[in-house]
Amino acid sequence: MIKEASTYPLLFSREQIAEKVSELGAAITRDFRGEKVVLVGVLKGAAIFLADLARTIDVTCTFDFIAVSSYHSGAQSSGAVQLIKDVDQSVEDRNVILVEDILDSGVTLTFLHRQFQGHKPRTMRVAALLDKPARRRVAVEADYVGFPIENHFVVGYGMDYAEQFRNLPDIRILPEEVIARIEAET
């Protein structure tokens, strides 16, 4: 599967991703110099991004993870977001950086903003590796954006289609015929 997936159209190579992630890490380091941050990754798509981003941030930093469900399996959001796993440690009075793989309709981020306000963080920022502004249904933006992209369904570097392709090292566009084939199989 990985061999076949390496033929899907390349959107960002691992080198381009690494360079961009370093820029985001440098911006976060600048903004939070002398402070502590807690990176809160949104499982599972942001796991790889968080792992790389964390290593480019040069301030005291801890990790936590949350999980939400909205995309049940495929490419269309059901629109309803549910919290499946909350943070393990209190984020009250902490500098929270929510780490997302991709900002699409904005429904998930809007839900998470609301969710986190209840936890009373000192500050809350959002880092999203990718952003599809054309798909936005709710007006919400990330503070740190890697790459704005067109309306493609992308996989790799943590991002999936029906839980597949997260382990691709580059970010690729998932061809329509592959989507159709996976749909037929499941």
Residues labelled as active-site residues? 104
Q: How far is the CB of 123 from Mg ion (least distance, A)?
A: 22
C-alpha span between 113 and 68 (Å, rounded): 13
Q: Does residue 147 bind ligand IMP (CB under 6 A)?
A: no
Question: What secondary structure does DSSP assign to 29-73, as a single string?
Answer: HHHTTTSEEEEEEEETTTHHHHHHHHTT--SEEEEEEEEEE---S
Beta bridge partners of 154: 173
Q: Does residue 107 bind ligand IMP (CB under 6 A)?
A: yes
**Contact region for Mg ion (CB under 5 A) — 45-53, 55-63, 78-86, 175-183?**
45-53
Q: How far is the CB of 120 from ligand IMP (least distance, A)?
A: 24
**Contact region for ligand IMP (CB under 6 A) — 32-40, 107-115, 117-125, 178-186?**
107-115
Q: Does residue 156 bind Mg ion (CB under 5 A)?
A: no
Indicate the DSSP class of residue 3: H
